[in-house]
Amino acid sequence: MNVGFVGLGAMGREMAAQLVRAGHQVQVWNRSPEPVAALVEQGARAAGTLAEALANEVVVSMLADDHAVESLLLDGGLLESARLDVHVNMATVSPALARRAAELHQQHGIGYVSAPVLGRTDVAAAGNLNILAAGETSLLDRVAPLFAAMGRQTYRLGEQPQLANVAKISANFMLVSAVEAFAEAAALAEANGLAPADLLEVLTGTVFPGPVYAGYGGMIANGRYDPAGFRLALGLKDVGLALDAGAAAQVPLPLAGLLRDALLEGIAHGDGDRDLAALGETSRRRANLTKRH
């Protein structure tokens, strides 16, 4: 399949590489040139302009946030001249933006699919992402080979694209909640003489098995927050999306407000570009425990 790929950040470059390995003809575009050059070495083609990337039959985008998607890809003139059939937006964006994007694409005769993912950069590099997809069934069928190359499972969540974004925002809200819960529990343990690693062993072997506590908990127990697989600043963005979606639907999310403040505190202390697990250091700082880094 001829695929344009827009957005080669930490996740996007790994996802695009999976498409190249699967034998798709991939043309890549990014605002900074270094990731483009790296993908070209792996077999992709470089797009000289964004419009050139949108000349492919399918375009996959993996941009940072609503603003990036809106400023780059929701330009009526750009879509008017685009030759693509389907745009697959795999970024974590707001349901409101997904609705606007779907309407705008429809006006220009272009299919629109939302397909945010669950998984960190190492999962993307292994082609094992879980993909949350929503859009017209015929469009999902058409891009299914791309999902198969990038992920281990695709969850089809309906024909309205924004439903996939609601699922992703809800999942990330719960993820950040879990990380904050262990961060506080680890600080409590450490302040009382119990090694956080020992607490983690108990929890993951009994009531909280699974990748979230094992992965992020292990990073917190060891004070290992770099390199970031999921930046703390992006956690703040996603919790903000949950709060906005809750306000729009009149759904109170009191826990999300607490998480927002914890994330802001971490960013204020310089941890925004560190892994989300740096919430562990925020909890240790509140408890006046000795700084590790």
Per-residue 3-state assignment (H helix, E strand, C coil) for 186-243: HHHHHHCCCCHHHHHHHHHHCCCCCHHHHHHHHHHHHCCCCCCCCEHHHHHHHHHHHH
Q: Active site residue: 168, 231, 274, 284, which one?
A: 168
Q: Which two tokens stand for residue 53?
A: 């990337």
The sheet carrying 86-89 orders its strands as: 45-46, 25-29, 2-6, 58-61, 86-89, 111-114
The sheet carrying 117-118 orders its strands as: 117-118, 129-133, 151-156
Residue with tokens 């903000």: 240
Say if residues 57 and 84 touch (Cβ distance below 8 Å): yes
Helix 196-205 and helix 211-222, axial crossing angle in degrees, nearest 10: 170
Does 237 qualify as catalytic in the annotation?
A: no
Catalytic center residues: 168
